[in-house]
Amino acid sequence: MEVRREKEMWLVRLEKGEKVKETLAEFAREHYVKGAKLSAIGAVDWAELAYFDEEKQAYENKTFSGGLEVLNLAGNISWVDDETPMVHLHATLGKEDYNVVGGHLNEALVSVTIEAFVLQTEAISRQVPFGPFKLWHLG
């Protein structure tokens, strides 16, 4: 991971072999980023995505592998408690056949790089219970 800061914006470059959410959580912990909006592009070897089935009230997970172009990662960073950052991301991934898949990103493995732009906010993050999952609210 390579990190550079420009005022409230952090530029975070993930390297081949790093796990996306795990590495971004490590970044948040190391640099005390308590609240942020995040967007990124790049490429991954595999990704596990989730889709929330409202009828079943549960997430359904699916893994995709092979070279995947990260067309967009969007989400936020907040904290569960004083020691545990929460990286919440949604992903749009392009496949070799030019089809696209997307959903809630559980985790992914960087194949070439991920270039993330993290806009830090002064808002205090807190956990709000909402149905079968947690909704993260800034404010």
pLDDT tens by residue, 34-61: 889 999 999 999 999 999 999 998 999 9
Please state whether 15 falls in left (phi above 0), alpha (psi between -120 and 50) or beta: beta
127 confidence band (pLDDT: 50, 70, 90): low
Judge if pTM exceeds 0.95.
no
pLDDT tens by residue, 59-73: 999 999 999 999 999
Which H or E run includes 108? Answer: strand 100-120
Which H or E run includes 27? Answer: helix 20-31
- Degrees, nearest 5: CA angle 134-1-36: 35
What is the residue whose two structure tokens read 């975070």? 12
Q: How far apart are CA 18 and CA 5, in angstroms?
A: 20
Mean pLDDT, the chain, whole residue set = 89
Higher pLDDT, 138 or 2: 2
Q: How far apart are CA 94 and CA 82, in angstroms?
A: 36
Q: How far apart are CA 127 and CA 7, in angstroms?
A: 27
